Structures are given as structure tokens and as C-alpha cells.
Amino acid sequence: MTNIGLDCGALAAAWLTAWERRTEGWKHSRELLVKLLDGIARLKHGIGNNAMLLNPKTGEIRECPPPTPAYAISHLSMLFGFPEIFAGLLDYAKGEYPSAVGNFMKVWLSYCRAYNGGPEVQRKEFGFEFPDHATWTQSHSTLTAFAAVEEKSDDLGNAAWSQFFRTDTYPQKYDLTVIKTSPPEYFTNGEEGPSIRTNEAAISNLANIRKYIK
């Protein structure tokens, strides 16, 4: 079983590196990537399937049988490199494999529109509402921005900026006060931003520097 968000980003990164650098076995890696794009596109819920059966040798992809849920949405799925790697992959492969890229792009854009799009958009795109734990809106504003760029949509572009500046994690007016620190409350003399947390800082700044937020 393979998790689409958590596993496929890493797999695609390894296979894409082999393809780009023409290392040993790169043609097989290229074949696996093309099958990955087509296979995810054929899943009943696309990215929303969350899990799938993947044969890493042949690239064959199938739906997971019960008791695996038919779909699952997690706030963690897009936080481990999937958007970045697949943005590069789609750009690299579109010249040679326009059909596979086009097929995948349909389900990818559907997920990008839906995650921060709210219940109405989610029902339209997937037939169900995303769970309450589908959070970290600011980080996922990148997905909205990706859809905005691909579809040349001002509405989605404005929504992406609003999600980035005015929602969770570090909104535009977040308190970033820095205080002096000293023993015995702290191990050493220094400075600290008590409201800054490593997890939130990482996902917020990653969303900030992604080049396809335009």
C-alpha cells in the first residue's frame, strides 16, 4: 500500500532525478513516473483516494480493497514535498508525455481547488466534504495558487493571497515579538520569539517561497 501524499512525492523525486540525470535505469524510472501519473488519474477519487496499491517494479496501480477507506483527506498529505516535486515533474514531462500530464493535471487541479475551497466546492469536485482536520489553510494556499496560475483565474489568485495572509499559522498581523532570555528560565542568554513554533514556521515560509504563488 502506498500513501499518495506522503509516499509518492519521495518516489517521484527519486525517479525524476534518475530521469533528469540519465543515471542507470533512468528509462525504467521514466516509465514508472508516467504510469504513476496515469494511475493516480484513474483512481476513483484521484488524489483524494489517499492510499493505493502500487507495484514498484512494474508501476501498476490499483484501488485499495476494503477495509481501506475509499478516500481520506489529511492536512499532512501535501506537507512532505508532493506539490514541489510534482510541479517540477509535470513541467519536465509535458513535452514528451502530454497525455499523462493532462490526465493527472485534471485530478490534481480538482484537489487544488477543493482543499481550501470550502464544502460546496469539495462536494462539487469530490462528492463529499473534507473533514474538520483538513486544516493549515495558509500552507495549502499554495494549492489554490497553483490552480489560479494554471487556470489563469483572478478569483482563485485573490483567494490564494487571502488564504496566505488572513488565515491560520502566521497571518499578516501575527505577533512576532522577540524577547531577551536568560537563566534560570532558559539555558543561556539570548533571544526568543515565544509565539514562533518550528512546525508552523516551516510550513508558512515554505508556502511563502514557492515560486508558483504569483
pLDDT at 209: 60
What value does the mean pLDDT take over residues 14-34?
A: 98
Helices 82-93 and 98-115: crossing angle in degrees, nearest 10, is 150
> What sections of the chain are H helices per DSSP?
4-21, 26-42, 82-93, 98-115, 119-126, 137-151, 154-165, 198-209
Question: Per-residue pLDDT tens for 116-158?
Answer: 999 999 999 999 999 999 999 988 999 999 999 999 999 999 9
- Enter the pTM of the model: 0.86
Q: Is the pLDDT of residue 71 over 80?
A: yes
- Of residues 109 and 171, more confidence is placed in 109
- Of residues 152 and 204, more confidence is placed in 152
Phi, psi of 200 (to 5 degrees): -65, -40
Query: In Å, what is the CA distance from 12 to each residue of 64, 140, 210?
Result: 20, 20, 18
pLDDT at 213: 45
pLDDT at 211: 46
Q: Is the pLDDT of residue 214 over 50?
A: no
Residue 81, by phi and psi: left (phi above 0), alpha (psi -120 to 50) or beta?
A: left
Query: In Å, what is the CA distance from 174 to each residue of 90, 160, 171?
Result: 35, 18, 5
